[in-house]
A = this chain, B = another copy of it.
Amino acid sequence: MLNFEYWNPVKMIFGKGQIAKLSAEIPKNRRILMIYGGGSIKKNEVYDQVKTALKDYTVLEFGGIEPNPHYETLMKAVEMVKAEKIDFLLAVGGGSVLDGTKFIAMGACCEGDPWDIWTRKTSMNQAISLASVLTLPATGSEMNCGSVVTKFETREKLGFGHPLLFPQFSILDPETTYSLPPQQTANGIIDAFVHVVEQYITPEVNSPLQDRIAEGILLTLIEEGPKALQDPTNYDVRANIMWCATMALNGVFNVGMPEDWEMHLIGHELTAKFNLDHGVTLAIVLPALWHKRKELKRKKLLKYAERVWGIHKGDAGIDKAIEKTREFFESLGVKTYLSDYDIDKSVIPELADRLMRHKNSMMQNRDEVTLESTKIILEDCI
């Protein structure tokens, strides 16, 4: 096991009816900006529940955060926070709303252009307090201090993180996920699944408990995922998926282990260029990437084949396990080849070049990530 530090101060409030607890968690005198996305929260009553719980506060609103939240949109919210002297941000929505809110929290306290955070041209030592009401299990952003934001103008999608960006609390009511479209449910399951493997299918460091927790999340997603599509108002199924997604990226299970994130980085380039859903890009990249990195990840892929898929065939089992993983993604209704989305190999050189430019942002295995290997992976994605 590697040395590690772990600290996660987010208070999690989980279950039916918990949105009503909002007012117990936010100091009374705060000026709140409620931040949300395309308005689905107005259809599924979450908006009303939040407004009712906060009836004794001054609450301003900023709607319209898009999937893969745009820097350009978020900067408008930053201006609003400054102008209106907002001192508490409440994200109500999924990972994009949460990630965007983290950017706003940081951007409103930042001297220079907040986009420069990731290149370290601007540093960060203050942020507006934030919290969340999560309505889409996927990114884990509700219990971590990371964020991914896209600059629409340049089609760049980049990640950053800071302990000041931990939500003070997050409320997770599985009933708010009943009305999710199947595609979003599927994307969220795949996102959580890939968060786990980016931290688990890495070099072996003798961390058996961490491995077993990772496998526990994967097995639960494999069991519960299809049920969520068949029976979308099954409370326990929705609750189990929601908790898996949080645990997949709250830093608990991967302590003392190396990380990877190569799938995410390639996926981010695909989203930035083609606007493909994040979960879709991961489902496309995973099989191709594992084929290319099989030798490097061999010990963990063997464990994965055996414990997650019950395949005890040695090295031959690895290919079988990769195929089972692809089948699982497809069973959720997500196509796993770029050609399924009318994307052909002509784009590979540009995508690989862009990845080389961005590869220093959050990737820990960057030595293996070469122009050549990236092209091979992308070719296998077609």
A255 within 8 A of B: yes
The interface on chain A, measured as residues whose beta carbon lies within 8 A of the other chain's beta carbons, has a size of: 40
Q: Which residues of B contact A220 (CB under 8 A)?
A: 208-209, 212
- Is A256 in contact with B15, judged by CB distance below 8 angstroms? yes
- Is B15 in contact with A244, judged by CB distance below 8 angstroms? no
- Is B6 in contact with A11, judged by CB distance below 8 angstroms? yes
Question: Per a CB cutoff under 8 Å, which of B4, B206, B219 touches A15?
Answer: B4
Q: Which residues of B contact A243 (CB under 8 A)?
A: 1, 209, 255-256
- A255-309 contacts to B, CB under 8 A, are 255-256
Q: Mark A137-178, 1 if CB is under 8 A from B, else 0.
A: 000000000000000000000000000000000000000000
A224 within 8 A of B: yes
- Is A12 in contact with B3, judged by CB distance below 8 angstroms? no
Q: Which residues of B contact A5 (CB under 8 A)?
A: 11-14
Closest CB-CB distance, A257 to chain B, in whole Å?
11
Residue on B with the closest CB to A14?
A: B4
- Is A215 in contact with B217, judged by CB distance below 8 angstroms? no
- Is B224 in contact with A217, judged by CB distance below 8 angstroms? no
Residue on B with the closest CB to A207?
A: B240
Q: What are 30 A-B contacts with C-beta separation under 8 Å? A: A1-B14, A1-B236, A1-B243, A2-B15, A3-B15, A4-B14, A4-B15, A5-B11, A5-B13, A6-B11, A6-B14, A7-B9, A7-B11, A8-B8, A9-B9, A14-B255, A15-B256, A208-B220, A208-B223, A209-B217, A209-B220, A209-B244, A212-B212, A212-B213, A212-B215, A212-B216, A213-B213, A215-B216, A243-B255, A243-B256
| Cα of A255 to Cα of B11 in the assembled complex, Å | 12
Q: Which residues of B contact A244 (CB under 8 A)?
A: 209
| Cα of A4 to Cα of B252 in the assembled complex, Å | 18
Q: Which residues of B contact A224 (CB under 8 A)?
A: 208
| Cα of A244 to Cα of B212 in the assembled complex, Å | 12
Q: Which residues of B contact A6 (CB under 8 A)?
A: 11-12, 14
A18 within 8 A of B: yes
A16 within 8 A of B: yes
Residue on B with the closest CB to A238?
A: B1
- A233-255 contacts to B, CB under 8 A, are 236, 239-240, 243-244, 247, 252, 255
Q: Which residues of B contact A252 (CB under 8 A)?
A: 252
User: Given contacts A209-B240, A215-B212, A247-B209, are A12 and B1 in contact (CB under 8 A)?
Assistant: no
Q: Which residues of B contact A256 (CB under 8 A)?
A: 14-15, 239, 243
| Cα of A236 to Cα of B210 in the assembled complex, Å | 13
| Cα of A3 to Cα of B243 in the assembled complex, Å | 12
| Cα of A15 to Cα of B3 in the assembled complex, Å | 4
- Is B206 in contact with A236, judged by CB distance below 8 angstroms? yes
Question: Per a CB cutoff under 8 Å, which of B15, B206, B207 touches A1?
Answer: B15
- Is B2 in contact with A12, judged by CB distance below 8 angstroms? no
Closest CB-CB distance, A357 to chain B, in whole Å?
34
| Cα of A6 to Cα of B240 in the assembled complex, Å | 16
Q: Which 5 A-B pairs have the closest CB atoms?
A: A3-B15, A212-B216, A7-B11, A206-B236, A6-B12
